[in-house]
Structure 1
């Protein structure tokens, strides 16, 4: 920005030079290179003229004072406020008992090497209204202190390290970005947490596990709510009318008849259901939410295999089609008794099973029981035979049988079911790639885009 009258005059001279260059170019023969140069010069002229207008508005009394809410905005605000006060750099130096050389250097460098205390002391002499962390009587907590505050409030360590304060965040600007991320996800900034605020209880339609730690549950529920609200911002349209019968849902999710996680997720996006996968290790299995007509699903199965991800996806779809109005549901661990025995969870599980087996669930189970002779040791061969006969992906049927065996108390057959899963691409990456090709990023602000980037970032696994 323009900080002195001399810079103002230099800027005017540069604009005249650019206009002369523009006139010369416009008189030459048209070419792609000439057109590119013309656009570049016009952009530079517009930028310089905007700087002149800003300087004029600050020096003509149109603005009364400068409002600053974030520390990162203070350096430019100091220059604006000095101009607004009608002070030269020399007069500001005298007023703040600093040397003229220091003021000139600080403004030239954007106050990048000046302590926050000195910046605040200069601000106190100028027409600046300080708010939030820019206030002179408030100091933000250090990174370790903030992490401790959020942990005490229940925020899982993984969320803090991976999303709120990822590696490489340094400096005042990053502190402000942390504040913005907290405000966007939880509706609370650093100041509120420093003053003892906790995470609001998200109104859940369904009951979480009875043994869930309350503070951690509230914190993660608030996090899920925030993530879902960002995803809803990227959805181009409200969720359409969804079929309620399993056969119609199967045709919607797999129009070519081939069971595919990528196809199912794309079909969800096509009807206005945003889908994303999370990879934190917090003991929750997934979530779904509908607010203002926009539905969102978060998948977080413990397995990499698409059979489990598909089952979870359709399970959450059932909740969306069976509930009216706005709601938020966070699933407990997929093997928890509370979840397995809840009536609506059973209905959701059966709906998903019918979609994935094309209605052959009971017949397939009958064949597995008959061929295995009731012996767990014979289940692998029996599952293979039934899957082949009824044209059910063997990994899907294996998981359904493992769940049935565990529910009946006979044994834990999940290890054997795991061995029947096909070798395939990481399911989280499949869901991530469909998200990237489907979401509408035009309505995201920089903070929302940064949060999504952290959630979608590829890691070596």
Structure 2
């Protein structure tokens, strides 16, 4: 992974026109100045540089007959000679690969290069140069060559996969392909499983990746998913088992999502085991026996329902909490691992109210459904107070969270807000503020409840509800900082430390 592939090298932070120059400030701190004469293509007139606009990855200038759009890579090619050389090298390698694939397809049909040239209407010398990677081949010429031997662009792409499988038993691309087939997303592999330094090393040896480096990358996969290195590198497809801890779903996932949920559950489960390994267990666990007892114990220590206080309370009960903020179909979990409980909170939002609801929901599962060792609950849908699941367990967990937050007043407060608003959605913000204050309920809780409630009536009030949320301090960071205080990361080995620290962005 070169620095050219780093998003901060590519992302435009600011751009402006001054003194016949375009000045661009990139996110990594680079500032470049390019004369406008170097950016003007033919056939464009009336270019109004003073109205230059920019987005994250391109600048746009009004012109006729169409606007001038200049992507980040063109700006970098002009200003960074090394990047230009890099692109040139990439182009050469791509030309060689295309040539190899065309030759293989031709030979599969038993066609000589001279016959292919005649069929495609080009010279034999052109076919020879293309197959040796000595010349770029245009899109129209490529289609014509493939069509003349009964192939398509899709066949050309498939040939690359076959070529890689035949020529090497190991490559990072092959690893990504095999894992993706099992449901392990490539983004998860690159961003969270394989350490950045190892990826840089693999990228620097891209044309001939050393076996030891590839085995090191595969070892991270092996640790999480349990496959041996021999199984990972064999030509057979990898099969993901149903473990961890039987993965009990209170709503069955769709067939399309099942492998992805299984894959991420294995990843989250392994991280959960690391957290438990690195945190000292309490001598005994005495959980509240009812909602009233739980709420009484909490409010005896903390005056308000706040995320940090609730997280601390969970840890004090002996329940570890692991925060994750990846996107995807997995929406959280609770596990009993060898008699110890851990909750995985997985949220992309910065709204405290959403994190609090999810935490209360999972706490109920711990209290009510995870008494038996090595059992689990995995959430396959986003949690919300109005989930239409048919699962009694999920409905009970929602009820527990709602009653902790609102008492038995949730519907009463919602109806009062709507009535005061005269059933007009544009008045709701004002009445929610008023009703929340009167009922001594946080306004973000009531706003969220109403937004979910209205969504089931095909009304979208999320824009307003989102503006009413408490988002500071960042909830993910709050949960991570507390976890760091509770665990002893030095107990973990090198690879395990890398996996956990990357997951929680230490």
TM-score by length of 1: 0.64
Residues of 1 paired with 2:320 and 2:181: CA distance? Answer: 32
| Residue 348 (1) aligns with residue 391 (2) | no
Partner of 1:382: 431
Could you list the runs of 5+ residues in structure 1 that have no partner in the other structure?
1-138
Q: Indicate if the aligned counterparts of 1:285 and 1:331 stay in contact, CA closer than 8 A.
A: yes
CA deviations 1:404-430 (Å, max 9, x no partner) are 2223x2412222211111351221111
Residues of 2 paired with 1:401 and 1:385: CA distance? Answer: 14
Q: How many residues align?
A: 319
Per-residue deviation, 1:390: 1.5
Residues of 1 paired with 2:289 and 2:316: CA distance? Answer: 17
Residues of 2 paired with 1:315 and 1:212: CA distance? Answer: 26
Partner of 1:167: 196
CA deviations 1:296-342 (Å, max 9, x no partner) are 11111231111100110111111111113132222123179976443
Per-residue deviation, 1:174: 5.0
Per-residue deviation, 1:442: 5.0
Q: Which has the higher helix share?
A: 1
Per-residue deviation, 1:237: 1.3
Identify which of 242, 251, 268 aligns with 1:201. Answer: 242
Partner of 1:319: 365
Identify which of 243, 263, 267 aligns with 2:288. Answer: 243
Inter-CA distance 214–361: structure 2 relative to 1 (3 Å threshold): closer
CA deviations 1:380-410 (Å, max 9, x no partner) are 1221112101211111111111122223x24
Write out aligned runs for 1:250-329 (5 A). 250-254=295-299, 255-323=301-369, 324-325=371-372, 326-329=374-377
Partner of 2:115: none
CA deviations 1:180-218 (Å, max 9, x no partner) are 322321122332222333211122222333354232232
Q: Indicate if the aligned counterparts of 2:257 and 2:329 stay in contact, CA closer than 8 A.
A: no
Residues of 2 paired with 1:173 and 1:265: CA distance? Answer: 42
Partner of 2:271: 227
Residues of 2 paired with 1:356 and 1:338: CA distance? Answer: 17
Residues of 2 paired with 1:253 and 1:285: CA distance? Answer: 26
Could you list the runs of 5+ residues in structure 2 that have no partner in the other structure?
1-167, 202-209
Inter-CA distance 141–445: structure 2 relative to 1 (3 Å threshold): same
CA deviations 1:138-179 (Å, max 9, x no partner) are x86221111111111110122201222132212766545434
Residues of 1 paired with 2:423 and 2:285: CA distance? Answer: 45
Identify which of 220, 227, 240 aligns with 1:181. Answer: 220
Residues of 2 paired with 1:356 and 1:247: CA distance? Answer: 12
Q: Indicate if the aligned counterparts of 1:209 and 1:338 stay in contact, CA closer than 8 A.
A: no
Highest relative contact order (Cα 8 Å, sep 6+), 1 or 2? 1
Write out aligned runs for 1:403-442 (5 A). 403-407=452-456, 409-442=457-490
Per-residue deviation, 1:446: 2.2
Q: Indicate if the aligned counterparts of 1:406 and 1:413 stay in contact, CA closer than 8 A.
A: yes
Per-residue deviation, 1:431: 0.7
SS at match of 2:304: coil
Residues of 2 paired with 1:260 and 1:295: CA distance? Answer: 22
Residues of 2 paired with 1:188 and 1:338: CA distance? Answer: 36
Partner of 1:334: 382
Residues of 1 paired with 2:460 and 2:256: CA distance? Answer: 24
Residues of 1 paired with 2:480 and 2:473: CA distance? Answer: 12
Residues of 1 paired with 2:442 and 2:389: CA distance? Answer: 23
| Residue 191 (1) aligns with residue 230 (2) | yes
Partner of 2:73: none
Q: Indicate if the aligned counterparts of 2:358 and 2:383 stay in contact, CA closer than 8 A.
A: no
Partner of 1:38: none
SS at match of 1:213: helix
Residues of 2 paired with 1:251 and 1:446: CA distance? Answer: 42
Partner of 2:42: none
